[in-house]
């Protein structure tokens, strides 16, 4: 998208169903220098884009553990409500009860996601120089829930030395048409590791390997406000730093290596990218198919 096109979008009325905030965000992205991520997790680079994020692409995959989690939380919500005498009358029909239970399960999921985001932010602050991190911490309220995770992360840094971090929270850009943000590049025993931080689920899960593959074989590291495309360094190993103080009572964390390969795992990620693009093309929607539908007569 050119800057002239972006200016035209900025002055045009928002299309039906598109909020002014989204138009404003896309306009900023299309005129920005360096990499820019929108609230919808779309990436722009020097005004070009949008391209999907690695995690958006992997949203196309079936994740059985997510379905099981939601079903369990919905069942727990129903049980709690049934035995809660102060909740008043129950529901008029089953559909109402199901909708309520699923919403309760979504609340639990969103709480877990919020915890993960807070832990990621704290981890990023921990990687800053002392003076910068002290400034950034001001005004940031650390909840009691995040403290054990932060302590686990500090224990990990103490084990492998925080000075070994090469970079953190930088975006990658692929000529295949996607982007993303990794958590850590750091040297461990003389080898360069690509590390993603996870806090949710018991894990490890297969799709975490595809996420790492998408980051590892991207073409460039890109920065906000910087038009330069920096070649992706040669990464020797990749893994997930799983912060779960409730599971790992000794340290609060485990570094789980994923022995990903370009031939198998990156190829699978690119297949997911193609499937995601096919879904986004909306080739077989009801509005496209039904106007030409015909009844089959004998």
Q: What pLDDT is attached to residue 135?
A: 42
b/e sequence 19-28, b meaning 16+ C-beta within 10 Å? eeeebebbbe
Phi, psi of 235 (to 5 degrees): -100, 130
Q: What pLDDT is attached to residue 112?
A: 52
Q: What pLDDT is attached to residue 132?
A: 37
Q: Which residue, 194, 114, 187, 116, is CA-closest to 157? A: 187
* CB-based burial label for 101 (10 Å; 0-12, 13-18, 19+): buried
Q: Token pair of 285, please? A: 């929607």
Distance CA 186, CA 244 (A): 21
Phi, psi of 243 (to 5 degrees): -95, 105
Q: How do the pLDDT tens digits run along the chain, 298 residues long?
A: 444 444 443 444 444 454 555 555 566 667 789 999 999 889 999 999 999 999 999 999 876 555 555 565 555 555 555 545 555 555 555 566 666 666 665 665 555 555 555 555 555 645 544 333 444 444 445 567 778 888 898 899 889 876 788 877 789 999 999 999 999 999 999 999 999 999 877 789 999 999 999 999 999 999 999 999 999 999 999 999 999 999 999 999 999 999 999 999 999 999 999 999 999 999 998 888 888 888 776 6
For tokens 């138009």, the residue is 23
Coil, helix or strand for 20? Answer: helix
Q: Are 57 and 213 in contact (CB under 8 A)?
A: no
The pTM of the full predicted model, rounded to 2 decimals, is: 0.72
Q: What pLDDT is attached to residue 224?
A: 92
Q: Are 248 and 254 in contact (CB under 8 A)?
A: yes
Beta strand 48-52 with 165-168: parallel, antiparallel or unpaired? unpaired
For tokens 């399960």, the residue is 105
């Amino acid at each position: 998208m050119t800057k002239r096109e972006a200016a035209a979008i900025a002055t045009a009325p928002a299309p039906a169903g598109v909020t002014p905030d989204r138009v404003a965000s896309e306009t900023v992205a299309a005129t920005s220098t360096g990499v820019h991520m929108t609230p919808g997790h779309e990436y722009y680079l020097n005004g070009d884009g949008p391209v999907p994020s690695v995690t958006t692409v992997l949203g196309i995959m079936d994740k059985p553990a997510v379905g099981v989690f939601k079903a369990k939380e919905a069942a727990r919500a129903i049980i709690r409500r049934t035995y809660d005498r102060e909740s008043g009358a129950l529901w008029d029909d089953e559909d109402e009860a199901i909708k309520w239970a699923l919403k309760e399960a979504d609340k639990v999921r969103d709480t877990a996601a919020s915890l993960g985001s807070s832990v990621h932010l704290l981890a990023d602050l921990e990687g800053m120089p002392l003076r910068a991190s002290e400034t950034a911490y001001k005004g940031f309220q650390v909840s009691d829930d995040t403290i054990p995770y932060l302590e686990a992360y500090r224990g990990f840094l103490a084990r492998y030395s925080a000075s070994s971090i090469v970079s953190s929270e930088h975006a990658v850009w692929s000529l295949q048409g996607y982007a993303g943000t990794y958590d850590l590049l750091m040297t461990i025993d003389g080898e360069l590791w690509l590390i993603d931080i996870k806090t949710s689920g018991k894990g490890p899960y297969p799709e975490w390997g595809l996420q790492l593959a998408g980051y590892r074989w991207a073409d460039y590291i890109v920065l906000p406000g910087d038009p330069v495309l920096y070649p992706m360094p040669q990464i020797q190993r990749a893994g997930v730093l799983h912060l779960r103080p409730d599971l790992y009572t000794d340290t609060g964390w485990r570094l789980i290596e994923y022995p990903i390969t370009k031939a198998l795992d990156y190829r699978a990620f690119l297949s997911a990218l193609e499937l995601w693009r096919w879904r986004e093309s909306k080739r077989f929607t009801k509005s496209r198919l039904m106007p030409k539908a015909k009844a089959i007569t004998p």
